[in-house]
Amino acid sequence: MHYRAIIFDFDGTIADTLEQTRHIYNQLAPEYGLRSVESHEMETLRNFSLSELLSHLEISTFRVPSLLARGTAMLRERIAQIPLIPGIAEILPSLRAEAQIFGILTSNATENVNLLLDAHGLRSHFTFVSSTSKLTGKAKHLKAIRKTFSLQSTEMLYIGDEIRDVKASHKAGIPCAAVTWGFNSRASLHAADPTHLIDSPHELLSLRRS
187-196: long-range pairs with CB below 8 Å, 24+: 187/47, 188/46, 188/47, 188/48, 188/49, 188/163, 189/161, 189/163, 192/163, 192/166, 192/167, 193/166, 194/166, 194/169, 195/157, 195/169
Residue type present at position 192: A
Query: Is residue 16 among the annotated active site residues?
Result: no
9, 11, 161, 165: the catalytic one is 9
Can you tell me the distance from the alpha carbon of 112 to that of 153, in angstroms, rounded to the nearest whole number?
A: 29
Q: Please give the positions annotated as active site.
A: 9
